[in-house]
A and B are shown apart, each in its own frame.
Chain A
């Protein structure tokens, strides 16, 4: 997979993950073009389109479009399945996920994606394992934050 984009029906980008190194300018250009093309398609059209030398697989969930770019030889169906799996993961993590969850916790959405895919390849096929890894990392983060909070308050008290 070359990259994954999430954007709203209004064309606002909600998440982007690039597995090929590109400059910001190129990224922006690609994003703009793709968002336009995908949004121009009618709801009853199929989920695949060819774009430059890539294949675009996209799927709409509520107001959010999930859009992946894959290479010519990659399988479209498995990409749809990856998108679906990612949505399931988000859903499990946030509890019936909505667009706002992703807007306000965009870093979490990234972390989940990073546990699921790595370098554009599926890293972990088990939903349970992905969520477990995220939970534990979160625990580590919260633990760290708390410890930090305490230390800070301690530091303040003597003065």
Chain B
């Protein structure tokens, strides 16, 4: 052994330390990888040694290597070893390494829980500090759940250094484990008024971050922050508070007025210092100008939201910024443009942007420009576009872009516009056919080119609206070119399908014109060209092509017999497509009597052998798919089915039929005629048609407007002539027309997207269910829900989601429990008069259930009867149960206690925190709380008052407001649980006058509430057990399904114990009462709890309480 030691320390002399490693890496520039792999081998050797110093050194080196990009996850266990070293030097390195390389997927992270808990309760503040810092980097939902309580305790640590760290880390814990927010919040609030400025700013930080996501829950804190803002001198804190108010003011308009004065004060105080810090922080002058430019644009985009007019005046300036060398500034300017466009300047702005698209180098920026152009044009249902011909030509022009990823965006726009703006279809079709004609240019050589997506749109538009085509035959040939087969599969598929549509319309044309030869020619063309698609590697293309080929061959046969077929073929594509809103499907309400969860067929029986089962299912599916794909092959079959479908649709109330909306009727207004139609010269093949057009449109648009103006002026003149007294309101030559005066070039109807008639309106569509902040949307002021979490989160650790979703109804569905509840650890009896009025409609059902239950419980159990209580309700006893005050007519006051805290300093006092919420519409004041003192437990009253006097509540409650009051009780003996009866009297004032009311309640003090979580080390624990001063007792609980880990966590959480040591299925735990009784527990997995305590009565009471808790596991 000794020799080993010596050997270890000699080895160490030869070990590299971190500096050597860094130096070595720098000296081995050429063969760095080789050198490092050598080092890693050495480190592996070092990690095998017993000497912790060597290990720590090795881990330190590994941390450095990790930064260089080497994988060190294999050393995770060694890192934990170093973390658990007793010396701070090593512990620090261990935690650093852990914080750098642990993440949620690290499996050994589970092993750290107890180590971290031990470090958190370490007497050295730096041990605790380093553990908190490390934890902040790798906290997982499990760790957060297990350690939430420990960290909460640390929030009231004596050292501000720990307090501030604990407060800050709570934010991370909330994110990982939202249930902890509610129990921790009162304490967090308390910290806003901490004497230490560091802790204060940490609390402000956390609450600001929370409030930013869900501001409405934090409105009640506004007065507190207001006070802080006027009193604090810490700029960092002030900035955070102002940000918080920024989030709160939209919700509470009165706040804005109140804030004006302090804010102006602040601005005066700081404007100078801000400028100084800006100039000192930016030594490089030109860089600071860029920063200011950026900030200016940012500020403008914020002003734009409220005062768009004032920003629009700076359009030129913003456009100038588009020329800036700096991409960040250009992007900001682009953002601004989005909000600045109007009907008047859209064309001009887009023209400018298009010129930038040409100049832009770097695909990312160009793509960004492209998306912005499309965004700008399509915003608010194309409200700024007056001339859709212009827009289509812009889109066509954009297809010239090479290497863009956004081909599909352009395609989507083309489709959208062509479908929804009926007047433009003719024009769109002509453009698209040109595009198809020049497809070899668009999709030239590079197949990966994203731009070929537009061909998808082009093909579809040409096919669907083929009646508008000027030269359908030419387009058909263009679509059947051999080159097409180089396009991606999904585009080819669309080609194939639309070729048939086109073919159908050509057939019809030819037959109407009585040119059977021409019709046969077209058919022959199809028969010749389609086989190239049949050979396609893409299944979809192949399948469609072979179906259609058969169809065409059939037609050919009929044609040979001189049978007119056009009518039937075009009937294949009868009917018109209407745009359907993307959310339409979701909004269709489930019809009554339809149970989506019910089996349609009998579920497969379990008796089937497992080997066969998957096979059978697979086979089944294949068959079904094959069946589905068969149709289309036979034309008659198709027609028959279509008829059947039509029939079915007609009978189906949920099918969205194409009904001519009143808007569409307007389409035929002669507005289309007067548009100057540009002749596109299709005979010039190499020129992309449409390309020069958007410029032309600018001119045309100007001309048009000019004409409009002239016309208007003429009218006005006429009017003037008639009415010469009238003052000229506008000067004709001035460009003063407002947006509204600009008549669109076409009578354009933007067909709105259809929604099912009985769609349910809901705003929640846009919320992302995965948003981590959503879970933190907890109404903290609502006392009814307030006390739900501590118990629930201990008893159902895994199912966070489901707990959050079924909030209030749970306890009421579980057995009728009238006027009382069992007491659990933190919380005591609650009573309130009316179940929350402020619940939203959603909870109506629950509310009804609740009130039903309430009535039931009232009948069964008279108020105050507490003798026989079903224990099974205990797990949820945090839930307040209604107590009917007999004397109360309509008090509407909720009263609830959520925390009893003993303090070690004063050995016979406990503090009870009560949340009072006014749920009525009256103003409550002069509140006084009085308790019928028992011999043992007395309410601490102000000096000089008698036992019958109440303790005044130091605030008043306006309607809908809640506040927290604390009352101190003096306890003589803590060995027994206590119950106290009390009354809260108050004056309720409303329009009809004021009345004096009172509310009775009961307070439960359990033995647990006298315990204070105190860490204990195993040696001290052993001594305590050996001392023999402790009396013993034990309990046994059966039928616990929960894991041992959770069980321990539960005991820790509810009964204020801390784990001293855990060996396999056995754990020793310790706690201390406020009067200094030691309580030691030995918990075995089976589950039995052996307890030793300096007071036997206390112990037996405690164990009884524990048994009640465990029985519900």
Interface residues of A (CB under 8 A from B): 13-19, 21-24, 28, 31, 41-50, 73, 75-78, 80-81, 84, 103-104, 106-107, 110-111, 114-115, 118-119, 121-126, 129, 133, 136-137, 140-141, 144-145, 148, 152, 155-156, 159
Of chain A, the residue at the smallest CB distance from B172 is A119
Within the complex, what minimum Cβ distance (angstroms) separates B7 from chain A? 11
CA distance A84 to B277 in the complex (A): 11
Cross-interface CB contact of A140 among B5, B66, B88, B298, cutoff 8 Å: B88
A24–B198 CB distance below 8 A: no
CA distance A44 to B206 in the complex (A): 36
In the complex, what residues of B have CB within 8 A of residue A42's CB?
325-326
CA distance A159 to B3 in the complex (A): 9
A13–B68 CB distance below 8 A: yes
- Other than the known A107-B60, A136-B126, what 20 A-B pairs have Cβ atoms closer than 8 Å? A21-B103, A22-B103, A23-B103, A24-B66, A24-B103, A44-B284, A46-B326, A46-B329, A78-B236, A106-B64, A107-B96, A115-B133, A119-B171, A119-B172, A121-B168, A123-B164, A123-B202, A125-B236, A144-B88, A152-B9
CA distance A152 to B7 in the complex (A): 12
B22–A103 CB distance below 8 A: yes
Dominant SS at the B interface? helix
In the complex, what residues of A have CB within 8 A of residue B92's CB?
107, 111, 137, 141
B281–A114 CB distance below 8 A: no
In the complex, what residues of A have CB within 8 A of residue B63's CB?
106-107
B101–A44 CB distance below 8 A: no
Within the complex, what minimum Cβ distance (angstroms) separates A60 from chain B? 9
Cross-interface CB contact of A121 among B104, B130, B205, cutoff 8 Å: B205
CA distance A103 to B68 in the complex (A): 11
Is B93's CB within 8 Å of the partner chain A?
yes
Cross-interface CB contact of A159 among B2, B287, B328, cutoff 8 Å: B2
Is B239's CB within 8 Å of the partner chain A?
yes
Interface string of B66-110 (1 = CB under 8 A from A): 111101010000000000000111001100100111111100000
CA distance A131 to B329 in the complex (A): 37
In the complex, what residues of B have CB within 8 A of residue A81's CB?
277, 281
A119–B168 CB distance below 8 A: yes
CA distance A48 to B171 in the complex (A): 27
Looking at A73, A124, A126, A145, which has the most chain B CB atoms within 10 Å of its CB? A124
B325–A45 CB distance below 8 A: yes
A118–B104 CB distance below 8 A: no
| Known interface pairs A45-B328, A107-B63, A119-B169; A124-B164 also in contact (CB < 8 Å) | yes
Within the complex, what minimum Cβ distance (angstroms) separates A93 from chain B? 16
B67–A44 CB distance below 8 A: no
In the complex, what residues of B have CB within 8 A of residue A133's CB?
129, 161
| Known interface pairs A43-B284, A110-B96, A125-B201; A77-B22 also in contact (CB < 8 Å) | no
**Which of B111-119, B289-297, B961-969, B1023-1031 is the contact stretch?**
B289-297
CA distance A119 to B172 in the complex (A): 7
B136–A118 CB distance below 8 A: yes
CA distance A18 to B66 in the complex (A): 13
B126–A44 CB distance below 8 A: no
B290–A121 CB distance below 8 A: no
Within the complex, what minimum Cβ distance (angstroms) separates B973 from chain A? 43
B64–A118 CB distance below 8 A: no
Interface residues of B (CB under 8 A from A): 2-3, 5-6, 9, 18-19, 22, 53, 60, 63-64, 66-69, 71, 73, 87-89, 92-93, 96, 99-105, 124, 126, 129-130, 132-133, 136-138, 140, 161, 164-165, 168-169, 171-172, 197-198, 201-202, 205-206, 209, 212, 234-237, 239, 243, 277, 281, 284, 286-287, 290-291, 293-295, 298, 325-329, 331
| Known interface pairs A21-B104, A140-B124, A148-B53; A46-B9 also in contact (CB < 8 Å) | no
B293–A46 CB distance below 8 A: yes
B9–A148 CB distance below 8 A: no
- Counting from the closest, the 3 A-B pairs by CB-CB distance are A46-B290, A119-B136, A45-B326
B136–A125 CB distance below 8 A: no
Cross-interface CB contact of B286 among A44, A111, A123, A152, cutoff 8 Å: A44
A104–B126 CB distance below 8 A: no
A44–B287 CB distance below 8 A: yes
Within the complex, what minimum Cβ distance (angstroms) separates B776 from chain A? 15
Cross-interface CB contact of A46 among B67, B281, B287, cutoff 8 Å: B287
CA distance A19 to B138 in the complex (A): 8
CA distance A103 to B25 in the complex (A): 11
CA distance A107 to B21 in the complex (A): 14
A144–B67 CB distance below 8 A: no
CA distance A159 to B2 in the complex (A): 8
B9–A15 CB distance below 8 A: no
B88–A111 CB distance below 8 A: no
A16–B88 CB distance below 8 A: no
How many residue pairs, one in A and one in B, have C-beta atoms under 8 Å apart? 169
In the complex, what residues of B have CB within 8 A of residue A41's CB?
326
CA distance A42 to B284 in the complex (A): 13
8 A-B residue pairs with CB within 8 Å = A16-B100, A17-B137, A19-B137, A21-B102, A104-B22, A114-B99, A121-B206, A137-B130
Within the complex, what minimum Cβ distance (angstroms) separates B167 from chain A? 9
CA distance A152 to B64 in the complex (A): 27
In the complex, what residues of B have CB within 8 A of residue A144's CB?
87-89
Of chain A, the residue at the smallest CB distance from B5 is A155
In the complex, what residues of A have CB within 8 A of residue B169's CB?
118-119
| Known interface pairs A24-B73, A45-B325, A81-B277; A118-B132 also in contact (CB < 8 Å) | yes
B326–A148 CB distance below 8 A: no
A43–B287 CB distance below 8 A: yes
A148–B202 CB distance below 8 A: no
A15–B295 CB distance below 8 A: no
Looking at A24, A47, A126, A152, which has the most chain B CB atoms within 10 Å of its CB? A24
B294–A48 CB distance below 8 A: yes
B168–A118 CB distance below 8 A: yes
In the complex, what residues of A have CB within 8 A of residue B53's CB?
148
Within the complex, what minimum Cβ distance (angstroms) separates B262 from chain A? 20
Of chain A, the residue at the smallest CB distance from B168 is A118
Of chain B, the residue at the smallest CB distance from A21 is B103
CA distance A114 to B161 in the complex (A): 13
In the complex, what residues of B have CB within 8 A of residue A114's CB?
96, 99, 133
A46–B96 CB distance below 8 A: no
Of chain B, the residue at the smallest CB distance from A31 is B69
CA distance A119 to B132 in the complex (A): 10
CA distance A45 to B6 in the complex (A): 59
In the complex, what residues of B have CB within 8 A of residue A22's CB?
103
In the complex, what residues of A have CB within 8 A of residue B66's CB?
24
CA distance A86 to B88 in the complex (A): 24
In the complex, what residues of A have CB within 8 A of residue B133's CB?
114-115, 118
Within the complex, what minimum Cβ distance (angstroms) separates B982 from chain A? 41
B6–A123 CB distance below 8 A: no
Of chain A, the residue at the smallest CB distance from B237 is A125
Looking at B18, B53, B212, B327, which has the most chain A CB atoms within 10 Å of its CB? B327
In the complex, what residues of A have CB within 8 A of residue B202's CB?
121, 123
In the complex, what residues of B have CB within 8 A of residue A77's CB?
295
Within the complex, what minimum Cβ distance (angstroms) separates B779 from chain A? 22
Of chain B, the residue at the smallest CB distance from A49 is B328
Within the complex, what minimum Cβ distance (angstroms) separates A98 from chain B? 14
In the complex, what residues of A have CB within 8 A of residue B19's CB?
104
In the complex, what residues of A have CB within 8 A of residue B103's CB?
21-24
CA distance A23 to B66 in the complex (A): 12
CA distance A47 to B286 in the complex (A): 11
Within the complex, what minimum Cβ distance (angstroms) separates B346 from chain A? 25
A18–B137 CB distance below 8 A: yes
CA distance A155 to B6 in the complex (A): 8
In the complex, what residues of A have CB within 8 A of residue B60's CB?
107
CA distance A81 to B239 in the complex (A): 12
In the complex, what residues of A have CB within 8 A of residue B67's CB?
13-16, 106
In the complex, what residues of A have CB within 8 A of residue B71's CB?
24
| Known interface pairs A123-B165, A144-B87, A144-B89; A156-B96 also in contact (CB < 8 Å) | no
In the complex, what residues of A have CB within 8 A of residue B73's CB?
24
In the complex, what residues of A have CB within 8 A of residue B239's CB?
75, 78
A21–B138 CB distance below 8 A: yes
| Known interface pairs A119-B172, A140-B126; A44-B64 also in contact (CB < 8 Å) | no
